[in-house]
Structure 1
Amino acid sequence: MSISGKAYIAGVYEHPTRKAPDKSVAQLHAESALGALRDCGLGIEDVDGYFCAGDAPGGLQMIEYLGLRIRHYDSTEAGGAAYPLDIGHAAQAIAAGKCNVALITLGGRPRSEGTATGTTPRIYNLASPDVQFEAPFGATVANLYAMSAARHMHEFGTTPEQLAWIKVAASHHAQHNPDAMLRDVVTVEDVVNAPMVADPLRRLDCCVISDGGGALVVTRPEIALSLGKPLVRVRGAAEAIKHSSGGDVDLVTSAAARSGPMAFQEAGVAPSDIDYASIYDSFTITALIQIEDLGFCHKGEGGRFVADGNLISGVGRLPFNTDGGGLCSNHPSNRGGMTKTIEAVRQLRGEANAAVQVSDCRLAVVNAIGGSALGNRHCSSTLILERE
């Protein structure tokens, strides 16, 4: 069963804080939930489906904390990819009659808790079958992504300067976002001269660490039509998993190579039809590889595609992450799929900052990555959204 046109994103909210030492994680979820419901004119009593991921301090506990009376619940964990994935799952539930109003929340405090994201080993489950083989070698998020960047440079001649253009584009957008953590416009030279984190990735190739949260409200079409907000229809959604296949490792391809074509097929559109792209940007290489895998250019041509301002709104062919993205604005709970979806909805509604608003924005793609790294096990979730 296709979910195309079966659900609409009716409400969105991005928590404005980037540091929340005075708030609990549950508070961030709750304040974001109320913000998204206010955005579309609905109340807690209208929600009959709840969706969350591993950042929630207990899914059942959050249902109680929010005072929800629901008949459908989904706590699929997919890291930063969870929230676009949740929209696809919510659309499926709505199409099947399992719920009418789905609430999706995110919240976290990694900045207040002093998390050194990307530079320390992450072992979530000692019983996980990968731990005994990988943990002794000190794999971290940053060095795993750095391997993908190094391999891409080796295979295709991609340069640090080309990767830097992704950060430059994000900074051009972030200067117009009063909530962005990094609002200064940077140059290619600034990026390539920044301190090294994991060769070849430098400090400015890496995302910010921020507290905060966000929420989305997904509804049946007739409910969205009654709310008086600009209509944003879910036209296509897909998810895919990539792993190391018992040693058959491909460091330069993400799971978006599978989720992207499936979402475009369900939506009945092509990459060339897209007006705006929200692309997960935990690192510059993350965005570059997804751009290739989603079909905006051929594999290996991403460096040339992103160079010379091609991602800057009003300048390039593919305006991306017009809020500044994870590289400059916000990466709440170290999970970027929520904010990527929120900014895509803003663009389709015509509510993005006027300096970066894409003219007559009708079709947007959202892609998010969650898990260990591009070349290791991860999930990709892809959405095609349409202004009706």
Structure 2
Amino acid sequence: MSLHAEAAQAALEDAGLRAGDIDGVLCAYSLSEPHLMLSSVFCEYFGIRPSYSAAVQAGGATACATIMQAAALVSAGVCRHVLAVCGDNRLTGMSRDGAVAALSEVGHPQFERPFGISIPAAYGLVARRYMHEWGVTPEHLAGVAVAHRAHARRNPKAQARDPLSLEQAMAGRLIADPLRLFDCCLISDGGAAVVVSAADTVADRPSRPVSILGYGQMNTHEHVIGMPTLTEFGCKQSSAQAFAMAGLTPADVDVAEIYDSFTITLLAELESIGFFKKGEAGPAVLEGALDLGGVLPCNTHGGLLSYGHSGAAGGMFHVVEAVRQLRGQAEGRQVDGAEVAFVHGDGGILSAHCSLVLGRA
């Protein structure tokens, strides 16, 4: 709760609002401190009584989903200022066994869990199929990790800032074939929060506002046995919805912040969304496509792979970084002239997808 409160207070100060101005709260979920009504627990802890309060659970898509829901609440006139807040202390608040036990619940209780499936193993299945279908190589996967570490090294708040070479990434210990240590996201403590306000309230705010131009969501399955395919994912539909609402295309995006729970997650989503054709994202990454001067600067804070992954807050880190980029506040990792940002989160085993298109106001 202290992570929630610290992030919420920082967001309010950034927006020039008082706690009493918030009339809507959307909270995520927590593995270290779970509760059936976590949003109510947070509001009580933070000392506010908003007219609308709800908790959202969509795995890694949760943060983007709260922004989408907040925008809908504001557009409908239900709320004027919605606080979307996430936080978890998975690194210090959970034992190793506890973390493994909590995350193993994603498997189907009858057809998957008895056979010992894990989240890395499930994504390993996706990676292996992608290698078979589209020629992805271990070098392509490692290239994603290296690109993210390069971004993280420019970010003083990143959890992992040691140099990482392609050779080191490829030599990491095997976690779930073909995924190695640096193909997997970090486990972190952290919190993040965003305020979504009605457009007519932002004129006098101390910070430059960012516009929500479009959003979309798609859910295709929950368990691996229910996946329609191992190479096409719901981000294709969710991003198409978001771009259509915004009246833009992937070619209009200046900076992208896309969920990267594993290196294969990002490669697969880059192609399903339409930034690259099938089989082309991996080679493009090795050529510097995701770097600051590349064709698509991506996860400029370091992403889940190097900045940190605090559950639902991990996805909110992507939103916060997009806002900073559009405001020109990303300092040493700033993308020059960034006016349009794309943010995407996915939950489960590429199960639930939510996409946002943000613009510089």
TM range, smaller chain: over 0.9
Match of 2:311? 333
Mapped to 2, the partners of 1:115 and 1:261 lie a distance apart of 39
Mapped to 1, the partners of 2:324 and 2:158 lie a distance apart of 16
CA contact (8 A) 1:51 1:103 kept: yes
Match of 1:359? 336
CA contact (8 A) 2:40 2:54 kept: no
Return the letter of the residue paired with 1:103: L
Q: Comparing both structures, which one devotes a greater share of its residues to helix?
A: 2
Return the letter of the residue paired with 1:163: L
Mapped to 2, the partners of 1:365 and 1:347 lie a distance apart of 11
Mapped to 2, the partners of 1:290 and 1:270 lie a distance apart of 15
Q: Relative to structure 1, is the Cα distance of residues 226 and 186 closer, same or farther in structure 2, using a 3 angstrom cutoff? A: same
TM-score (normalised: structure 2): 0.93
Mapped to 1, the partners of 2:315 and 2:182 lie a distance apart of 20
Match of 1:10? none
Q: 2:145 pairs with 159, 167, 176, which one?
A: 167
Please tell me whether residue 31 in structure 1 is matched to residue 10 in structure 2.
no
CA contact (8 A) 2:88 2:313 kept: no
Q: Relative to structure 1, is the Cα distance of residues 171 and 251 closer, same or farther in structure 2, using a 3 angstrom cutoff? A: same
C-alpha deviation, 1:334, in angstroms: 6.2
Aligned residue for 1:122, secondary structure, equals helix
Please tell me whether residue 290 in structure 1 is matched to residue 269 in structure 2.
yes
CA contact (8 A) 2:104 2:118 kept: no
Q: Relative to structure 1, is the Cα distance of residues 335 and 286 closer, same or farther in structure 2, using a 3 angstrom cutoff? A: farther
CA contact (8 A) 1:236 1:266 kept: yes
Return the letter of the residue paired with 1:308: E
Mapped to 2, the partners of 1:199 and 1:118 lie a distance apart of 21
C-alpha deviation, 1:253, in angstroms: 2.0
CA contact (8 A) 1:213 1:333 kept: no
C-alpha deviation, 1:245, in angstroms: 9.2
Please tell me whether residue 92 in structure 1 is matched to residue 72 in structure 2.
yes
Q: 1:104 pairs with 81, 84, 90, which one?
A: 84
Return the letter of the residue paired with 1:87: I
CA contact (8 A) 2:89 2:189 kept: yes
CA contact (8 A) 1:120 1:140 kept: no
**What percentage of residue pairs aligned between the two structures are identical?**
40
Q: Structure 1: any 5+ residue segments left out of the alignment?
A: 1-25
Q: Structure 2: any 5+ residue segments left out of the alignment?
A: none
Q: Relative to structure 1, is the Cα distance of residues 266 and 134 closer, same or farther in structure 2, using a 3 angstrom cutoff? A: same
Q: How does 1:114-125 map to 2 (within 5 A)?
A: 114-115=95-96, 122-124=103-105
C-alpha deviation, 1:306, in angstroms: 2.0
Mapped to 2, the partners of 1:118 and 1:142 lie a distance apart of 13
Mapped to 1, the partners of 2:290 and 2:295 lie a distance apart of 7
TM-score (normalised: structure 1): 0.87
Segments of 4+ in structure 1 off by > 4 A? 116-121, 244-248
Return the letter of the residue paired with 1:323: H
Mapped to 1, the partners of 2:99 and 2:133 lie a distance apart of 24
C-alpha deviation, 1:59, in angstroms: 1.8
Match of 1:49? 24
Return the letter of the residue paired with 1:114: S
Please tell me whether residue 197 in structure 1 is matched to residue 175 in structure 2.
yes
C-alpha deviation, 1:109, in angstroms: 1.1
Return the letter of the residue paired with 2:328: G
Structure 1 vs Structure 2 CA RMSD: 1.9
Return the letter of the residue paired with 1:365: F
Return the letter of the residue paired with 1:382: S
Q: 2:285 pairs with 286, 303, 306, which one?
A: 306
Q: Relative to structure 1, is the Cα distance of residues 116 and 237 closer, same or farther in structure 2, using a 3 angstrom cutoff? A: farther
Match of 2:127? 149
